[in-house]
Amino acid sequence: MVQYKDLGPSTVRLLELQPSSKGATIRCNLKTVSLLDAPAFEALSYVWGDPSIKTNILVDGAPFPVTTNLGMGLRAVRRRWKQRVLWVDAICINQDDVAEKNIQVPLMSTIYSTASRVVVWLGPSTPEIGLALSWVQAYEWKECGPARVFWRTLDTAANYSRTWKAKRAVALMRAASGCFDLFELPYWERMWTFQEYHMAAEEPVCVCGNREILASKLRTRGWQASHRSILDLEDLVNAGGFDQSLFRLTDEAFQWDGVVKEKKERELTTRRGLDHTNFGSRKLTPTDNTLLLSLMQMTTPRRCLNPRDKVYALYGMVPEAQRAFPVDYNKPVEQVLLETTAFMNTQGSMPYATFPLRENNISNTLYPSWVPDFDKQDIRPAIDDRFSIRKVMTVHKDRFCFPRVSRDLTTLGLLGWKIGPVKLILKFEPELEAILEQISGLMLDYSPTSLRELRSRVCGHLIPKMVQDVGVHQGFKFESDATGFSLVDIVDGFSQLNQGVERYCQSVPTQRRNIQKLEVCRDGARKLAGMTVFKSSKYEFFGVGSKNMKDADILAIVPGAEIPLVLRLGSERLDCYQMISVAYVDGMMAHQSYDGEDARILDEIQKGKLEEFSIR
């Protein structure tokens, strides 16, 4: 068993990885150094893998259990004839000593930023990833070797043979698939690797299998390879005259094309926002007071074994947060998330337009109602720019201040405008078909006169506008119109869905756009599940909020929140509110075309007196 000795404030352990042949036992030695002495070392960035599956290596001559993935990584980066000095967290930090972790974790940003190089172990390769890496080595790096010979041979033969052109199309599609596979490896899904990758002084070198690669050279190659393959396939199809061998190869290429399209879709949708690393092309610097919020938004899908690391794994990039609330793994998770929310608010970067409130935020006594759920992301359209901190500070120089949090972190103090109580109009059902029936009922022309304004405002503008804004805001892509669909389009889409009849269009592009429109409407309807339509009694704004809303809740605008808030007076203290919901309010959101009356009302609200809300 390794005998760890206590470390000083700026000292770390380094791992001397001894040289050996590929299959030999991994042997290492630990040494203690001071970071103040600028020691020479490389930092290994990797994912631990399944902690229940271990393999033994030798550290200072004694068996030391490491995860299988780390064992493979050390074997992959070990040199044949020369020692390699590395910093490896699982070995260089005593993982059983919480006090040591509390000291070493804050040093990780310094470790990764001062290392001579950061080496990323992505894991074992696959045939498709290997093909992708060889393609980049042949065309991007123009290396001489087997990879360049393979691809140049394909290129030359494809100029003279349709069969070889089909073989190249298959190889390109497999390489494209490998490009996307590489960025779906577990490395890009973990919390700690985000900071480790970003803090490197130079772009990290990625090791996958037995190949090294710069990720920035591979990021767009999947799209390029699939495009080149499609050009080959189009040439083959247009020429016709397929024999059995050519048909088989072309069919294989089209099958791989289907696989690649699915992976592209995942990149644009479910995995969009996962990295935002840009792989060396952009540096994140801890100067922006909204940086912690931005980083938590970028890393929402990433995972970690210890839930505290959703925050602590970003501290190296936001030293202000680390100074305000130092790393302490003895703190309950709830306290860490409360401190994080308090820090964001006092920095003027309120998280309510990015992260949803907790479903049980009113009844949960572990948190104040204003602590959001950082495990989910619910990006919403922002409120009109009149209510940005910049504009409000100009109009209310003597009154405005950033949010304040009480010393015991229970009460959030916000300045804003009380728009007035709300009246609930409709609660949407949880199922899609039922929601469409509710919308259909509101759209019927024979509604009583008293409901015609409701039908016009809610179905003719509020719901379509919300669907349109949320769609554009969340980055939906439309082939024929990058800005999305008009209100008329959305209303027409709901009409088709309500009638249960999909309109037949004569041209293929028009038919495709109509299908896209219907899907946008379905997706928008799904987002309405369980939500509440309300009307503001003072200014007669219509809006949509959460299922937790009640009559007489207060609609409020808070500069910096970026979205209207719904508050409720507390049952225990009448001078304090609870945060009930965020809201989409028709006529208040950014990029809307206001009529003269709406613009006048917004100006009136902005110039009105700011009130203080104490929220618990």
Pairing of strands 532-536, 27-34: unpaired
**pLDDT for 203-223, tens place per residue?**
899 999 988 888 877 766 767
Q: What pLDDT score was predicted for residue 490?
A: 72
pLDDT digits (tens, 9 = 90+) for 317-333: 898 999 999 999 999 99
Per-residue pLDDT at 313: 93
The pLDDT of residue 438 is 81
The pLDDT, as a whole number, for residue 432 is: 85
Give the tens place of pLDDT for each residue, 223-240.
Answer: 777 777 777 777 777 777
Contact (Cβ atoms closer than 8 angstroms) between residue 523 and residue 493: no
| pLDDT at residue 477 tops 70 | no
| Separation between Cα atoms, residue 566 and residue 582, nearest integer Å | 6
For residue 388, name the pLDDT band (cuts at 50, 70, 90): confident
**Rounded Cα gap, residues 511 and 496, in angstroms:** 13
Which pLDDT value is given to residue 245? 78
Q: What is the DSSP letter of 105?
A: G
Helix 432-443 to helix 487-499 angle, to the nearest 10 degrees?
110
Q: State yes or no: pLDDT of 488 exceeds 50.
A: yes
Q: List, in sequence order, every residue forming a beta bridge with 66; answer none if it has no partner.
A: 55
Q: What pLDDT does 119 receive?
A: 96
Q: What is the pLDDT of residue 272?
A: 41
Q: Tell me, what amino acid is at 479?
A: E
pLDDT of residue 459: 64
> Per-residue pLDDT for 126 more than 60?
yes
147 token code pair: 């990879």
Q: Is the pLDDT of residue 199 over 70?
A: yes
Taking alpha carbons only, the member of 97, 4, 91 closest to residue 56 is: 91
Name the residue among 349, 317, 258 with its Cα closest to residue 112.
317
CB atoms within 10 A of CB 85: 17
pLDDT bin (cut points 50, 70, 90) of residue 537 is: confident
> Rg of the chain's alpha carbons, rounded to an integer?
29
The pTM of this model reads 0.81
Taking alpha carbons only, the member of 90, 94, 13 closest to residue 54 is: 90
pLDDT at 335 over 50: yes
**C-beta of residue 476 within 8 angstroms of C-beta of residue 381:** no
- Interval 85-106 mean pLDDT: 93
Mean pLDDT of 15-29: 93
Identify which has the larger pLDDT, 525 or 412: 412
pLDDT, one tens digit per residue, over 150-170 is: 888 888 888 888 888 888 888
- Structural tokens at position 309: 């690391």
pLDDT in tens, 421-439: 999 988 989 998 888 888 7
Q: Which of 368-372, 399-403, 492-496, 556-560 has the highest mean pLDDT?
A: 368-372
Q: What is the spatial distance between Cα 314 and Cα 295, in angstroms, rounded to a whole number? A: 7
Element (H, E) at 74: helix 68-77
For 347, phi then psi, to 5°, come to -90, 0
Percent of the chain surpassing pLDDT 90: 34
pLDDT of residue 473: 38
| pLDDT for position 301 | 87
By mean pLDDT, which of 47-56, 250-259, 499-508, 531-540 is the weakest? 499-508
- Higher-pLDDT residue of 418 and 487 is 418
With pLDDT > 70 as the criterion, what percentage of the chain qualifies?
83
Q: Of 257-271, 320-334, 354-368, which gets the smallest average pLDDT?
A: 257-271
**What does the pLDDT average to over 1-28?**
91
Say what the pLDDT of residue 454 is: 59
**Statement: residue 192 has pLDDT above 80:** yes
Mean pLDDT of the 602-606 span: 86
Strand partners, 418: 556
CA distance 521 to 323: 46
E strand spans, 515-585: 532-536, 542-545, 554-557, 565-569, 577-582, 584-585
By CB neighbour count within 10 A (0-12 exposed, 13-18 middle, 19+ buried), where does 281 fall?
exposed
43-59 tens-digit pLDDT: 999 998 888 899 999 99
Residue 74's Cα: distance from chain center in Å? 30
Phi then psi for 477, rounded to 5 degrees? -105, 135
pLDDT of residue 283: 54
The helix (H) or strand (E) run that includes residue 613 is: strand 611-615
Amino acid in position 158 = A
Mean pLDDT of the chain: 82
Both tokens of 494, joined, read 């709901």
Using the 8-state DSSP alphabet, how is residue 16 labeled? E
Confidence of residue 478 (pLDDT cuts 50, 70, 90): very low
